[in-house]
Amino acid sequence: MGSPVVRHALLLSLLCAGALGFLLCCHGAAVAPAYVTVSAASFAPSSTCSASDPVAPQQNDTFTVLRLTHRHGPCAPLRASSLAAPSVADTLRADQRRAEHILRRVSGRGAPQLWDYKAAAATVPANWGYDIGTSNYVVTASLGTPGMAQTLEVDTGSDLSWVQCKPCAAPSCYRQKDPLFDPAQSSSYAAVPCGRSACAGLGIYASACSAAQCGYVVSYGDGSNTTGVYSSDTLTLAANATVQGFLFGCGHAQSGGLFTGIDGLLGFGREQPSLVQQTAGAYGGVFSYCLPTKSSTTGYLTLGGPSGVAPGFSTTQLLPSPNAPTYYVVMLTGISVGGQPLSVPASAFAAGTVVDTGTVITRLPPAAYAALRSAFRSGMASYPSAPPIGILDTCYSFAGYGTVNLTSVALTFSSGATMTLGADGIMSFGCLAFASSGSDGSMAILGNVQQRSFEVRIDGSSVGFRPSSC
């Protein structure tokens, strides 16, 4: 069965998975286990959707639930084998661009000037609305009357939602799985006139008017962009769950490879154009999501739910983000490795932490990351190391091992909210799934690897974490 330390870790792991888990793990009432024991085979990707109980779209008077899947996994809707998943190297490069973009925005330094922005400016309006791209989790909803199915990215780091629309011939539009949305075929579609308050509310995403129609433009962190007509139509999330007059961008010109294969994006940011704000009257500005631990399983996205403190959640305060009000910011206060708190001054975390669905790898200020890496390497000293992969510099080879005792990692936030990570939240691509933010004093970013299997609940004042939820 292994050493007494491992047996103790296994006992605590079992307790944390049960009814006592909320008390023992989420609020730090007991010391976190030193190890997480997993099968080495569990790190291998699967090409088969193994969701035993997929979440079907549901709806009642207070909430709506949609099935959430990894964009490139076997559970993704209408998966097309011709649309290959990006390589690990490409994923990490895109992730680094996204993280850099977020950190520039929250620091007040604006959007990064990437090498291809100047060339792109020849085909899009000069008034750019900067945002960040995502390449991870999707839901299916219907747009228009009659409804047309749309496979859409879910992004907490974006406000404006959009889909590709006809007319949009190649190369103005990238390839997608579903037919392009055709405004002419929807009886409920309308372009937003330039003089309407909704057009004025676009802010940095506003573009020049054309034929008295409100224009929009969004550019993403890798140079991808979308531009077109700001519009309204009926968005159907589930049976009997519709958003009348939903405001979105009807994209007639897109460039860049960030979104190839999907139909558009649903913005879940904090600003007025987002789906969260547009449905606040129906759902109270509350939403939650559970990202699946692997791309071969499913999670869920929920709009609405009980107001106030939700049972089972470990909750921390939601903070303002003056320089970039789109983002959800909390205060990370400490990290434990192998059950022991790291000796990192509180000032290392003082800038706050962005909770983001689209960033893959969690970013920590350099002092905090160096302490985490050192402690983790010490706890994993018995395993052979592997070459670094891109931004990931602490990697291992588990070839020949039946089981692996991963050194545990737990993240603690203000008010004592604690995320005790599972194996899928500690390692990704065979490496420790954390990286440096690049400069002390910068914000941290809580990436989606660490959020997997937690239900993350966000309302107007707090962010909550409930473990083992999908």
Q: Which of 95, 131, 155, 233 is catalytic?
A: 155
| Pairing mode, strands 190-191 and 225-238 | antiparallel
Residues 6 or more apart whose Cβ sits within 8 Å of residue 280: none
Nearest partner of 214 among 224, 227, 226, judged by Cα = 227
Alpha-carbon separation of residue 366 from 317, 422, 425 (angstroms): 24, 23, 20
CA distance 299 to 315: 21
Q: What is the CA radius of gyration of the chain?
A: 22
Q: Which amino acid is at 45?
A: P
CA distance 232 to 270: 20
CA distance 69 to 265: 14
Q: What does the CA dihedral 158, 164, 170, 174 come to, rounded to 10 degrees? A: 40
Quote the tokens at residue 228: 């077109």
Residue with tokens 């609940």: 457
CB 315 within 8 A of CB 454: no
Q: Which of 95, 159, 263, 356 is catalytic?
A: 356
Give yes or no: 116 in active site: no
- The residue count of the chain comes to 470
Give yes or no: 95 in active site: no
Q: What is the DSSP letter of 151?
A: E
Helices (H) and strands (E) in the chain, counts: 10, 31
CA distance 293 to 469: 10
Residues known to be catalytic: 155, 356
